[in-house]
Amino acid sequence: MQDSEVIDEFKVEADEMLNDSEEYLLNLGKGQDFEQNFNGVFRAFHSLKGAAGMFEINELQSFMHRIETQLDSLREVGSFSPSQVDYFLLAIDCARPLLEGQHSIFDYDLFDQLEKKDEKLEPLIKAEEQKESVLARKEKNLNKKKGRVIVIDDEAFICEELCGMLNEFGFNASSFTNPVEALAEIIKEKPDLICTDLKMPEMSGMELLKKVRGLKIECPVIFITGFIDNGLLTEGLDQGASGFLEKPFEQHEVVSLAIQSVERFRTRKLLNRSINYIIYQFNDLDNYLKKEGKESLRKSFKLEIETLLTLRRESNS
């Protein structure tokens, strides 16, 4: 079950779990509903610990176990201090290199110091970042990514028109007339939606989509074109396009397709993540069955999980 494709899928989903944890922690820092947000963080940490064990990423599993234990000790307190929020945000930063098999250093002892008094976390923060808290940095980065749309068209007036339509309806859209520059921004920002012209001098929209998918950046892509024929439509859908906008376009068409594409993609991500939570929790059950000597049941569960992963892979291809 531990082939490279499955592990790559796990890493993508694990990164999403860490992103979710950051958002829950930001909510805790704002004093929002404790139980809901605490459980969100705990569920993600616990699932990541179990999955790391299943995929034999031992250093990450050990790290998440210690962080999860520290987190659980605050359950009965019912609130987080700002520095405690900062502490777990920094732990998430530490988990990311461990996920990639890299070494990472973290000072667990700071947690006990924060229980005694609300100390700052300068020992873990780089000098150039000490002017603002980890919480403030994370919130700034998170808000920057919400509703992010990148528009690419070699005609500047098309870019301006599309961005105006999308921004008016709450998206955070910016544009590029150069697809090479746009690709660099896509790699950096990982937007919620890409709207790209099909025919451009330096790189076609289809080539851009292939490069984006090759980099394992998953987000909906809408093609902009002067005309749509059956061959173009088929090729675009085969490559994973979410839809087409034919020039000239109306604002309601642009906004409707953008909203549908983003919401459909988010729903699919949520379903995939729910499946992964179930799969990752299997690690706890597998350890129990192994201890009890129930090998036939273990094999049966593993076969079902492999089937589930195969079906999901086929549905996403």
Residue 147 has pLDDT above 50, yes or no: yes
Domain range 146-317, CATH class: alpha beta
Q: What is the pLDDT of residue 183?
A: 94
Tens of pLDDT, residues 155-210 = 999 999 999 999 888 889 999 999 999 999 999 888 999 999 988 988 999 999 99
Domains 4-142 and 146-317 in one fold:
no
Predicted structure pTM score? 0.53
Residue 121 has pLDDT above 50, yes or no: no
Q: What is the pLDDT of residue 120?
A: 47
Tens of pLDDT, residues 226-258 = 877 777 777 777 777 888 888 888 888 898 899
Phi-psi region of 204 (alpha: psi -120 to 50; beta: other; left: phi over 0): beta
Residue 101 has pLDDT above 50, yes or no: yes
Q: What is the mean pLDDT of residues 8-32?
A: 84
Element (H, E) at 221: strand 221-225
| Cα distances (angstroms) measured from residue 298 to each of 285, 306, 310 | 9, 12, 18
Q: What is the mean pLDDT of residues 288-316?
A: 78
Confidence of residue 130 (pLDDT cuts 50, 70, 90): very low
Confidence of residue 6 (pLDDT cuts 50, 70, 90): low
Q: What is the mean pLDDT of residues 92-112?
A: 87
Q: What is the pLDDT of residue 115?
A: 55
Contacting residues for 43 by C-beta, under 8 A, at least 6 apart: 277
Residue 2 has pLDDT above 60, yes or no: no
Residue 282 has pLDDT above 90, yes or no: no
Confidence of residue 1 (pLDDT cuts 50, 70, 90): very low
Q: What is the mean pLDDT of residues 282-308?
A: 80
243-246 sheet: strands from edge to edge: 172-176, 148-152, 193-197, 221-225, 243-246
- State which CATH number among 1.20.120.160, 2.102.10.10, 1.10.357.10, 1.20.1420.20 fits the domain covering 4-142: 1.20.120.160
CB 205 within 8 A of CB 199: yes
Q: What is the pLDDT of residue 131?
A: 38
Burial of residue 89 (number of CB atoms within 10 Å: 0-12, 13-18, 19+):
buried
Residue 11 has pLDDT above 60, yes or no: yes
Residue 25 has pLDDT above 60, yes or no: yes
* 124 or 234, greater pLDDT: 234
User: What angle in degrees, to the nearest 10, is found between the helix axes of 156-168 and 251-292?
Assistant: 70
Domain ranges across the chain: 4-142, 146-317
Q: What is the pLDDT of residue 181?
A: 94
Residue 18 has pLDDT above 50, yes or no: yes
Distance CA 223, CA 84 (A): 45
Confidence of residue 128 (pLDDT cuts 50, 70, 90): very low
